[in-house]
Amino acid sequence: MNTIYQNSKRLYFRGLLFFLLTLSVSCSKNFIDLAPESTTTTDLLYQTDSHFQDAVNACYTAMQEQYQNFWIFADVPGEDVAQEVVKNDAWYFADAFTMPDNVEMLHDTWSNYYVVINRANIILEKIEEADESLLQSKDRHIGEAKFLRAMAYFDLVRIFGGVPLITQTLAPHDAYAIGRTDVQQVYNELIIPDLLDAAARLPRSYSGTHIGRATSGAALAMLGRVYLTTGDFVNAELTLQEVTTMGYALLPHFEDLYDYGLDEHHSEYIFDIEYEEGLGNQGSVFTHRFMPNSSAMADFYDIRGGELSETFSPTDQLRALFIEEDQRRDITVGVSGGFYDASGSFQRLPQATSQNYTKKYITPVQLVNDSRANWKVIRYADVLLMYAEALNENGKTSEALAPLNAVRSRAGLSPYDLSAPDDIREKIYLERRMELAFEGHRWFDLLRTGRALDVLAPLGMQSFRVLFPIPLSQIQVINNPAIFPQNPGYN
């Protein structure tokens, strides 16, 4: 690993101690923890360019913490992953559609996102008061803060529905009067404007230790996803088409996306939640969480530290979708029942453990939950498939084939021929399912396309479970269903 690459991942974690103190938001049961940061001491911390850079880094750090559990919301409820071992934890409740409102993970998720939002709000307020002569990167700081605030709200509304729309720091007593805001209002008044402004302010690329920060391409790609989610296919097409002109390209080999010994900031990279091993609680949990409980397999892949949780088991049905020639198959869903060692011999997994696994997050790890495996928020293949979908929905089916087939070609598959829009739509959905499996897309794709209940009712989904319950801790703090009701079905 070269120095630039290592430093670029550290940008998430280098916030100074005083920012960890003044920008941190407690995990108490207080309503979204929106204490104002207006003391004289705090004001002194928001003066120079480096001050604001550290403040923005603290936003990334909070997002990094939240994305350790994002898969529970984004992948586990879908039909492509099953919880086969532990039956009394949040990921099982998500898988079985039995999530109660008092699970601590729900509270932590709510709190983590509002940590990001609160920190971003402070930055956006303080930066307008600061001496511009000391702010060489003002636009970038504003752009990053707005990108991360929009990303937090986008996740919140997709998980919980309407949530409090907070755009400034509040005193605690004011926060208690803030109710849930309509989802479309959150999109129109914050998510879309923030991403538009971020795209206008952020650079296309970085060098040196800044590599890994949000770029204009990341903001536009996220905006395209937002437009697709809200059914605005016209703006989705225009926005995603712009991303295709920004110099991104598919890697030649699919497996290189998941080789964490290579430079992760490659041509297909757009935005990751970044993790690094060996820096003290800055690694990801994914390698240990998703591995089968097999010491032989752990030894083969040099995964140390124990506690292989096998909380993420791909289904046989997903593996069956891939034909043998598909270069994505063995990375996405490893060989069922075992693995091939260095000599090519098949080693069977213990009978009592999960027999299916994904290799997307397998990398050598020395300490438990200290993996360098990133979470890929947006990569170029996703953009191409979203662009194909928008084109098809806008009546440009023949044009949709090029981005769709580019993804298939990289996988070693023959291109699709032109057919009816309904048929191409289903092919795009299928391609997204196989290309982006276990990267936080399947559940939200099913929701935004209106297919969740049809696909998942046989697995126990009820209609009200298109949303997760609002954390009970938040319901109890407000204690006023008139302004802060629980989601239907969870009372």
What would the two tokens of residue 348 be? 């069977």
- How confident is the model over 464-486, as pLDDT tens digits? 999 999 999 999 988 899 999 99
Please report which confidence band the pLDDT of residue 5 belongs to, taking 50, 70 and 90 as the band edges.
Answer: very low
Q: Which residue has the higher pLDDT, 34 or 446?
A: 446
pLDDT score recorded for residue 306: 78
The per-residue pLDDT for range 311-323, each reduced to its tens digit, is 889 999 999 999 9
Check if the beta carbon of residue 153 is closer than 8 Å to that of residue 186: yes
pTM for this structure?
0.92
* Closest CA relative to residue 451, chosen from 428, 417, 419, 418: 428
Number of H helices, E strands in the chain: 23, 6
Q: What is the dihedral angle through the alpha carbons of 21, 27, 29, 34, rounded to the nearest 10 degrees? A: 40
For residue range 148-159, what is the model confidence (pLDDT) as tens digits?
A: 999 999 999 999
Using the CB atoms, write b or e for 390-405: b if 16+ within 10 Å.
bbbbbeebeebbebbb
Cα distance between residue 260 and residue 278, in whole Å: 14
pLDDT of residue 176: 79
pLDDT at 85: 65
Distances (CA, A) of 49 to 142, 181, 419: 12, 34, 54
**Residue 446 phi, psi (nearest 5):** -65, -40
* Burial per residue of 355-375, b for 16 or more beta-carbon CB atoms within 10 angstroms, e otherwise: bbbbbbbbbebeebbbbbbbb
pLDDT in tens, 414-448: 999 999 999 999 999 999 999 999 999 999 999 99
Confidence at residue 1, expressed as pLDDT on a 0 to 100 scale? 34
Compute the mean pLDDT over every residue in the chain, rounded to the nearest whole number.
90
pLDDT reading at 40 higher than 80: no
Q: Is the dihedral of CA 420, 422, 425, 427 positive or negative?
A: negative
Which of the four pLDDT bands, split at 50, 70 and 90, describes residue 231?
very high
278 versus 73: the higher-pLDDT residue is 73
> Mind listing the pLDDT tens digit for each residue in 175-215?
778 999 999 999 999 999 999 999 999 999 999 989 999 99
- pLDDT score of 134 more than 70: yes
> What tokens appear for 142 in the block?
């504003």
Residue 253 reports pLDDT greater than 60: yes
pLDDT for residue 36: 40
Distances from the Cα of 338 to the Cα of 110, 348, 350, angstroms: 38, 4, 9
- pLDDT bucket at 45, cuts 50 / 70 / 90: confident
Closest CA to 317 of 411, 434, 423, 428: 434
400 near 389, Cβ under 8 Å? yes
In 3D space, the residue among 412, 438, 224 whose CA is nearest the CA of residue 314 turns out to be: 438
Q: What is the pLDDT of residues 381-425, one digit of tens each?
A: 999 999 999 999 999 999 999 999 999 999 999 999 999 999 999
pLDDT at 83: 77
pLDDT-derived band at 24, boundaries 50, 70, 90: very low
Residue 172 pLDDT class (50, 70, 90 cuts)? confident
The residue among 137, 112, 119 whose CA lies nearest residue 49 is 137
pLDDT band per the 50, 70, 90 thresholds, residue 42: low
pLDDT of residue 28: 35
Once rounded to an integer, what is the mean pLDDT over residues 103-118? 96
Dihedral of CA 96/432/318/441: which sign? negative
Buried b (16+ CB within 10 A) or exposed e, 450-459: eebeeebeee
Question: Given a cut of 90, is residue 33 above it in pLDDT?
Answer: no
Please report which residue ranges of 268-337 form alpha helices under DSSP H. 286-290, 295-300, 316-321, 329-332
Is residue 452 within 8 Å of residue 466, measured between CB atoms?
A: yes
Phi, psi of 409 (to 5 degrees): -60, -40
Sign of the CA dihedral with 53 first, then 54, 58, and 61 last: positive
